Amino acid sequence: MRKTNLCSLLLVLLLAACSTTTKKENTTDTSPFKNRPQWVQEAFKTFEGHADNMLVDVLKTGKTPRSTERGLKPSRDWTSGFYPGSLWYLYEYTGNQEWAKKAQQATELLDKEQYNTDDHDVGFRVYCSYGNGWLLTNNEQYKKVIIQAAKSLCTRYNKKTKTIMSWNPNEKRDWKYPVIIDNMMNLELIYEAYKLSGDESFKDIALEHANQTMKYHYRKDYSCPHVVDYDPETGNFRKMDWNNGFCDPKVAAWSRGQSWGLYGFTLMFRETKDPKYLDFAEHIASFLLNNPNMPKDYIPFWDYASPKNPSMRDASAAAIMASGFLELSQYSQNNKEKYFQVAESILKTLSSSDYLAQVGTNKNFAIKHTTGNYMGGSEVNGSLSYGDYYYVEAMVRYLKLINNQPLYQ
């Protein structure tokens, strides 16, 4: 009896030890971020739940999410790169190879977009997906896709206007060569292609586009309309116009557009170290932070100048702005703490129940109260894939900074 009891006791202890070992293995912390505030951990857990639930439909349909209003769209949609990019950020946050596999599956749905020359959005499609994948894995195939996508994007460059045409000419809108402020974001793809290939023409195009945007797209107060049109024959500036934001291009300051500019000129300083881009980004920052119509929580209205429904928020503009401010805080000599604190405040607000949807709700999108095109009545006060993307990007950037890690190697 004693021998039997002893054997039983040893067996129980052995099973308990195995159970403890298994538990430790299942909860191994693979994240590179050891300093993770509780609110950040909870927000990422929620974001992971949404992303995982969304993946089921993505793999079933071969499409990626655009918005709560429009659902999933094929790879040619301008938003197709944001969901794969979000998965890459989850891999970066967790260090878990399962997220890398999921990100790879979603990214490769966009393979043909490297050859897309129909509009400027190849930058959003390819750099947010393949670009993030390249930075995290050094996958040689991703490198080839980035270079090819940049070649496709640069087919839309005009030597006379010295810009990349965003959309094709439109007689009804009297657009001969429309360029939108969003196009600044695509310069990241072109610059990466330059660094990977050594082709100087990529760098030249990025510089010229940024310089022309500084010259013609901005007003004296460093606000901008959505659209500027050029004459492709002479290269001359024709007019400011709108497609998003308020319909008066003389005063419109579409909030997401202002965030695109802040982010875009900040990345141009990162790539060139030319102080004129840093100075320009800080002027845009000043316009935003000193704007009398900026809410106290820094979640901007859909347009800073609109008299129409000024209470309608756009959380996607806030997410982009937060990400831009976090990077700008690393370059600014005088406003480092201010930019960081504003970004941190935005992220805490977006991570609250007012803006971050519970898992299993909101059609598996994370950030609520985003506005696509208010005047167009499209995707108003819903959720947008790019709102989710720039939120998780900003969260990863925030973790890097509080863990004393560089934003870029």
Q: Kindly name the residue from 119, 121, 229, 241 that is annotated as catalytic.
A: 121
pLDDT in tens, 234-258: 999 999 999 999 999 999 999 999 9
Element containing residue 124 per DSSP (H, E)? helix 122-126
Q: What does the pLDDT read at residue 23? A: 35
361-372: b or e for each residue (b if 16 or more CB lie within 10 Å)?
Answer: ebbbbbbbbbbb
Query: Looking at the predicted structure, is the pLDDT value of residue 14 above 70?
Result: no
121 is known as an active-site residue: yes
Query: Looking at the predicted structure, is the pLDDT value of residue 210 above 80?
Result: yes
DSSP-assigned letters across all residues of 272-301: H--HHHHHHHHHHHHHHHT-TTS-TTS--B
**The token pair that represents 275 in the structure block:** 């102080």
Percent of residues, the chain, with pLDDT higher than 70: 93
Average pLDDT over every residue of 379-386:
98
Q: Kindly name the residue from 182, 229, 303, 388 that is annotated as catalytic.
A: 182
Query: Looking at the predicted structure, is the pLDDT value of residue 6 above 50?
Result: no
Which residue type does 262 have?
A: L
Query: Looking at the predicted structure, is the pLDDT value of residue 12 above 50?
Result: no
Indicate the pLDDT class of residue 310, thresholds 50, 70 and 90: confident
Query: Looking at the predicted structure, is the pLDDT value of residue 26 above 80?
Result: no
Indicate the pLDDT class of residue 27, thresholds 50, 70 and 90: low
Query: Looking at the predicted structure, is the pLDDT value of residue 8 above 60?
Result: no
Average pLDDT over every residue of 210-214:
98
Average pLDDT over every residue of 192-205:
98
119 is known as an active-site residue: no
Which residue type does 338 have?
A: K
Give me the torsion for CA of 373, 379, 381, 386, rounded to 10°: -90
Query: Looking at the predicted structure, is the pLDDT value of residue 18 above 50?
Result: no
Query: Looking at the predicted structure, is the pLDDT value of residue 360 above 80?
Result: yes
Whole-number average pLDDT of the chain = 94
Domain 35-402 has CATH 1.50.10.10: yes
Q: What does the pLDDT read at residue 326? A: 98
CA-closest candidate to residue 342, choices 321, 366, 314: 321
